[in-house]
Amino acid sequence: MNSITFEEFRTDLHKILDEMTFETLKIMLPDGRCLYLSLEECYVSACRGPRRALKMSELSEEQIQALMDAKVPEGLEHLDALLDEEPE
């Protein structure tokens, strides 16, 4: 998580908002409290709570076929390399 001071946030507000990613930004206020800033998609995802794994037997034939036909979205092909990495 990136962390900045409130003064940095105030000074570079437009730049920071333009560069926001899916990572939450921690803004340290002068009184020691912290403010966390996230994009809407991140907030909604976090509110959904933990995901639940399904057994193959719980899926319909259509869902299984959709998984078999799924393609990596354009621009994310580099993530395939993560599948080849050994866990630390």
CATH of residue 43: 3.40.1620.10
Higher pLDDT, 19 or 85: 19
What range defines the domain where residue 22 resides? 2-48
Asked whether residue 37 is assigned to any structural domain, the reply reads yes
- Average pLDDT (50-76) is 88
pTM: 0.49
User: Is residue 37 a contact partner of residue 27, using CB atoms and an 8 Å limit?
Assistant: yes
pLDDT band at 67 (very low <50, low <70, confident <90, very high): very high
20, part of any domain: yes
Give the whole-angstrom CA distance, residue 65 versus residue 45.
25
- Above 70 in pLDDT, residue 87? no
Distances (CA, A) of 59 to 2, 29, 49, 53, 87: 39, 48, 21, 11, 29
